[in-house]
Chain A
Amino acid sequence: MGGEPRNDGSRARSGRFAALDAAAVNQDGFLREEHAAGLVTMSSPADPEPSLRVEDGVVVELDGRPAAEFDVIDEFLAAHGIDLAVAAEAMALEPVQIARMLVDINVPREEVVRIARGLTPAALARAVALLRPAETVLALTKMRARRTPSNQAHVTNRLDDPLLIAADAATAVAFGFRELETTVPVLGDAPCNALAMLVGSQVAAAGALTQCSIEESQELLLGLRGLTTYAETISLYGTEQVFVDGDDTPFSKAFLASAYASRGLKLRVTSGAGAEVLMGAAEGCSMLYLEARCVKLAWAIGAQGVQNGAIEGINIAGALPRGMAEAVAENLMVMMCGLESCSGNDTLMSQSDVRRTAHVMPIFLAGSDFLFSGFGSVTAYDNMFGPSNFNGDDLDDYLVLQRDWGVDGGLRPVDEPELLDLRRRAATAVRDVLHHLGLASFDDARIEAVVGAHGSKDLEDLDPQIVVDAAQGIVERPVTAVEVVAALAATGHAAEAERVMAMLHQRLLGTYLQTAAVLDEEMNVLSARTDPNDYRGPGTGYQLAPARQAEIDGIRQARTRADLLGEFGRPLAGVEFRERGEAQPAADPREVAIGVSPSFAAEINWTLSGQSVWEALRQILAGIEEEECVGRVIKVRHTIDVGLIGLTAARLSGSGIGVGLQAKGTVLIHRRDLPPLANLELLSVAPVITAEMYRTVGQNAARHVKGAPLKPLRNPYTEETIGARYHASTVGLVAIERAASRPGAAPVDLEVVR
């Protein structure tokens, strides 16, 4: 920390640096690049030069490696990962040519996909590494598979409380999420969570897809039972060592992908930077190159999509230079291969709100098939994946960001009473299903606690055995989605029964097995086939429909002028103001005139600080009186400008000193011989003016009359966002003043009647 040692051995500290050290961002870890360990994001000396040699239709060299040296990943890629029909054409292109195709609006998405499928992993990585961040955003906009963006939520809790899972699933769908992912702190609970989420997901609207992320075989089993509708955590890795450590091979994963599809279940795979480094087997390669291998492998096994963008590894990528750029480059490679992108942003990557928000912005602005591969829709402590980059308590932030940028991030505002009703319906439905199937019993009090809960810490602890027993019952019986439908119908939850049945129909129709498929709330399949992204530059691609625009714009916090009028026009008690004819210049040399604005104590009765206009005025009058002067109140009607109001008062005042007071609370002292904008003292930040300060204004106005020394009066300093908090109100209040003002109308004396 710099500086020469002092005599006592300590070093001088900069207060500026001490403050910087305490900043949230400095709780994050940062690393210098180390190529040998794979601690490098975009490119490493160990990354191979792109190469492809094909003899008699067989790949004999891939990215610098001859067939004899292929590992199991190379082998699978050589057999299935390169479209040999276009490989010669694609590999002949320079990386920069491919990079330019990505941002050239005259090159259609389909053409880039055609070329990318003929590239080797090293060639794919080289191309995307050339893009600047703004270019990546444009490329993401063009390249995602589905035109309509969507979003995915995590729905979990510490207790595996099935009622809370259901209520939170309903909540997530109400906010607009179309895929819900749960997992468990206790593995044995998984079937119960899956069932609760299946039911809860169909309460607010039809068609949300659900998954339960657990060990591969057990996850498949839940899918086979119909308790989940898709799978996502089918992990791929970029090196053979890590793949095998993960207890799979590309062949076992390819079989698993077909197994899911054979039961009509949607599947995407998961990969992302950092996994290989964390397992100590990155082979010195860059994260981007290793991920390019995963992406090509995902396409090779026939997966329809990929969850990447670093995922848990974002904390490793984020510690390194260009880590955020690498994460979105991963998403882009997925899109280039014509696959669905489920775009990360799902692990809290920084203690800093600034940094974690910056992380989501490229995908947020560009849109994606799923902007988050797990927005933590519950409160952070209940997220059993670990806190997400955005969590339930950030939902309003996210909704405001959508509105700020005019961007469809997949979510929508929710009405509080409506949400309580949905949560009650969801918790009740699951309670009834579990009871009907003889799996567990919960009382009404538990339902009510769940309905109002912020998270599981608001609930009494649940005997863990209850959930384990229910889960075991589901496995052993076995309970399938058909029994869930029957139980819902038998217990009076007809709408939910129909919707869960409709999800079973999707498994028979199979249309949602196509790339990037989601179901909208009318059960239409939106996919790369039915709703392809047709972005070709400004004016093309996904456009916000007017109704959707209105939904995004209509956040619950937005106010109309009528709302403001109601709030700031609340009646005053115990005081009246009466206009008493045109104000005349006065002769009393001890008089201070207080000019008030056109809507003062008429349309506007309350100031921005929360005090009444009468309280502000009363304090000023009392201050004048304390200094043995005389106050007089004048309603200025022709102007709303506080300077002109004060000057008008000063010119009518016997002393030549006037006070200008706007109804919103802004106040100044003026003198009759000064230009309008040159006042004596001004308190401009109305929201933070106290009663005591109004009194000091009165005292100082009188002291100006007497020529006495002034009391100190400063605009109160604050680091709070006064502007953001009050400007919306200020604009409304100014408009009300403007409407109340009458150009040419003379000032009138105002009598205060108590």
Chain B
Amino acid sequence: MTRAFSGRPLADVTVEAAVAGELRADDVRIHPDTLREQAEVAAAAGDERLAANLRRAAELTALGDDDLLRIYGALRPGRATEEELAAVRDELAERGATQCAALVEEAIASYRRRGLTR
């Protein structure tokens, strides 16, 4: 049975619940398990890249909207110093987003070489 990020069963995410003011943002957010299942579906169909993206996405469910916007901003060219990017990498790793952290680690090496850090 599909659950929202909050754990609320999908069957309880209803118009009536919306009208009653019961639904919080996390009640209409996807659950990381759902994303991992979809990653398996993609992998089974042979698309390992889409699967990897969905696995990173599952990790990012642990982050708030503002965190997502902040980290995205830091990865844009010339926005962050190498140290700041390293801090982002460590933060991701600490929050269990190991594959996202690995992506940032790659970015750090690439940005250093191509002069894309601040």
A residues lining the B interface (CB < 8 Å): 71-72, 75-76, 79-80, 83, 110, 113-114, 216-217, 220-221, 224, 226, 240, 244, 247-249, 251-252, 254-264, 299-304, 338, 480-483, 485-486, 489-490, 494, 497-498, 501, 504-505, 507-511, 513-515, 528-529
Which B residues are in CB contact (< 8 Å) with A338? 46-47
> With A220-B68, A481-B28 in contact, is A513–B46 under 8 Å at CB?
no
Chain B residues with Cβ under 8 A from A72's Cβ? 110-111, 114, 116
Given A113-B46, A501-B15, A507 and B28 touching (CB < 8 A)?
A: yes
Task: Please measure, in the bound complex, the distance between the C-alpha atom of A80 and the C-alpha atom of B99, giving whole angstroms.
Answer: 13
CA A482 – CA B17 in complex, angstroms?
A: 9
**How would you classify the secondary structure of chain A's contact residues: helix, strand, loop or mixed?**
helix
Contact B114 A71, beta carbon cutoff 8 Å: yes
Task: List, in ascending order, chain A residues with CB within 8 A of B110's CB.
Answer: 72, 75-76, 249, 251
Q: Number of contacts between A and B (CB, 8 Å)?
A: 185
Q: Are A528 and B45 in contact (CB under 8 A)?
A: yes
Contact between chains at A508 and B28 (CB < 8 Å):
yes
Q: Which residue of A lies closest to B68 (CB)?
A: A259
Nearest B residue to A114 via CB reads: B46
B45 to chain A, nearest CB (A): 6
Which residues of the partner chain B approach A262 to less than 8 Å between Cβ atoms?
30, 35, 56-61, 63, 68
5 A–B contact pairs at CB < 8 A?
Answer: A110-B46, A259-B57, A300-B49, A508-B13, A509-B10
Q: Which residues of B contact A251 (CB under 8 A)?
A: 75, 103-104, 106-107, 110-111
B contact residues around A301 at 8 Å (CB): 49, 53
- Across-interface contacts of B59 in A (CB, < 8 A): 258, 262
On whether the beta carbons of A529 and B29 are closer than 8 Å, the reply is no
| A509 adjacent to B2 (CB under 8 Å) | yes
Decide: A489 near B15, CB < 8 A? Known: A255-B100, A302-B50, A509-B10.
yes
Q: Are B19 and A489 within 8 A (Cβ)?
A: yes
| Complex Cα–Cα for A260 and B60 (A) | 10
B10–A498 contact, CB under 8 A?
A: no
A485 touching B68 by the CB < 8 A rule? no
- Measured CB to CB, the closest approach of chain A to B24, in angstroms, equals 8
Q: Which residues of B contact A216 (CB under 8 A)?
A: 72
- The CA-CA distance from A274 to B107 in the complex, in Å, is 27
* Contacting pair A486 B18 (CB below 8 A): yes
Q: Across the interface, do B114 and A513 meet the contact criterion of CB distance under 8 Å?
A: no
**Are B30 and A249 interface neighbours, CB within 8 A?**
no
- Distance in angstroms between the alpha carbons of A72 and B113 in the assembled complex: 9
Q: Which of B72-118 contact A (CB under 8 A)?
A: 72-73, 75-78, 100, 103-104, 106-107, 110-111, 113-114, 116
Name the contact of A254 in the complex, choosing from B38, B42, B53, B58 (C-beta under 8 A).
Answer: B53
Q: Smallest CB-CB separation from B3: which chain A residue?
A: A508
Residues of B within 8 A of A113 (CB): 46
Given A254-B103, A303-B53, are A264 and B15 also a contact pair (CB < 8 Å)? no
Interface contact A264-B30, CB-CB below 8 Å: yes
A249 and B38 contact, CB distance less than 8 A: no
B9: nearest residue on chain A (CB-CB)? A508
A258 and B54 alpha carbons, distance in the complex (Å): 7
Given known pairs A261-B57, A301-B53, A302-B52, the reply for A255 and B28 (CB within 8 Å) is no
- Within 8 Å by CB of A252, from B4, B21, B61, B72, lies B72
Q: Which of A110, A220, A226, A497 contacts B28 (CB 8 A)?
A: A226
CA distance A264 to B61 in the complex (A): 10
Bound CA span A370–B97, Å: 34
- Inside 8 A of B113's CB, which chain A residues have their CB? 75
Contact B65 A302 (CB under 8 A): no
Cα-based distance from A221 to B66 in the complex (angstroms): 9
Interface residue from B19, B21, B30, B60 paired with A508 (Cβ < 8 Å) = B30
When distances are taken between beta carbons in the complex, the residues of chain B under 8 Å from A299 are 49
The smallest beta-carbon distance between A214 and chain B, in angstroms, is: 14
Known A-B contacts: A486-B21, A515-B45. Give 12 more (CB < 8 A).
A217-B72, A249-B110, A258-B60, A260-B57, A300-B49, A338-B46, A482-B23, A485-B19, A489-B18, A498-B15, A508-B4, A510-B35
Q: Across the interface, do B72 and A259 meet the contact criterion of CB distance under 8 Å?
A: yes
> Judging by beta carbons under 8 Å apart, are A510 and B15 in contact?
no
Smallest CB gap from B61: residue in A? A262
Tell me the bound Cα distance from A529 to B54 in angstroms: 15
- How far is it, in angstroms, between the C-alpha of A249 and the C-alpha of B107 when the chains are bound? 9
> Do A485 and B18 contact each other (CB < 8 Å), given the known contacts A244-B77, A257-B53, A302-B50?
yes
Which residues from chain A contact B61 at a C-beta distance below 8 Å? 262
Cα A511 to Cα B2 with chains together (Å)? 11
Instruction: Report the minimal beta-carbon distance from B75 to chain A, rounded to whole angstroms.
Output: 4
Contacts of B45 in A (CB 8 A): 514-515, 528-529
Chain A hits for B51, CB < 8 A: 302
Most B CB within 10 A of own CB, among A226, A257, A489, A513: A513
Query: Quick check: B15 and A258 within 8 Å, CB to CB?
Result: no
Contact B34 A482 (CB under 8 A): no
A224 to B67, CA, bound (A): 12
Measured between alpha carbons, how far is A254 from B34 in the docked complex, in Å? Answer: 20
Evaluate whether A248 and B77 lie within 8 angstroms (CB atoms) in the complex, with A261-B54, A528-B45 already known: yes
Which chain B positions have C-beta within 8 A of A497? 15, 18
Q: Is the CB of A256 within 8 A of B72?
A: yes
Q: Which residue of A lies closest to B45 (CB)?
A: A529
Residues of A within 8 A of B48 (CB): 83
Q: Mark B1-39, 1 if CB is under 8 A from A, else 0.
A: 011100000100111001101010101111100110110
A240 touches B68 (CB 8 A): no
Q: For A261, what are the chain B residues with a Cβ–Cβ distance below 8 Å?
A: 35, 53-54, 56-57, 60
The reply to whether B18 and A240 form a contact with Cβ atoms under 8 Å apart is no
In the complex, what residues of B have CB within 8 A of residue A304's CB? 50
Residues on B with beta carbons closer than 8 Å to the beta carbon of A83: 48
B27 cross-chain contacts in A, Cβ below 8 A? 482
Contact A507:B42 (CB < 8 A) given known A217-B72, A258-B53, A262-B68: no
Partner of A513, one of B10, B21, B38, B111: B38
Contact B18 A482 (CB under 8 A): yes
Contact B65 A486, beta carbon cutoff 8 Å: no
What's the nearest-Cβ distance from chain B to residue A700, in Å?
A: 77
Does A505 lie within 8 Å of B53, measured CB to CB?
Answer: no
Pairwise interchain contact B18-A501, C-beta atoms closer than 8 A: yes
CA distance A109 to B25 in the complex (A): 41
Please give, as numbers and ranges, the residues of chain A lying within 8 Å of B3 by CB-CB distance: 508
Q: Are B34 and A249 in contact, with the CB atoms below 8 A?
A: no
Nearest-CB distance from A66 to chain B (Å)? Answer: 13
Q: Kindly list chain B residues whose C-beta atoms are within 8 Å of the C-beta of A515.
A: 42, 45, 47, 50
Which residue of chain A has its CB nearest to the CB of B36? A510
A248 CA to B106 CA, complexed, in Å: 15
Nearest A residue to B64 by beta-carbon distance? Answer: A224
CB-CB under 8 A from B46, the residues of chain A are: 110, 113-114, 338
Q: Which chain A residues border B69 with CB–CB below 8 Å?
A: 217, 220-221
Contact between chains at B53 and A514 (CB < 8 Å) = no
Tell whether, in the assembled complex, residue A258 and residue B100 are in contact, meaning their CB atoms are under 8 Å apart: yes
**Chain A nearest CB, measured from B25 CB (Å):** 7
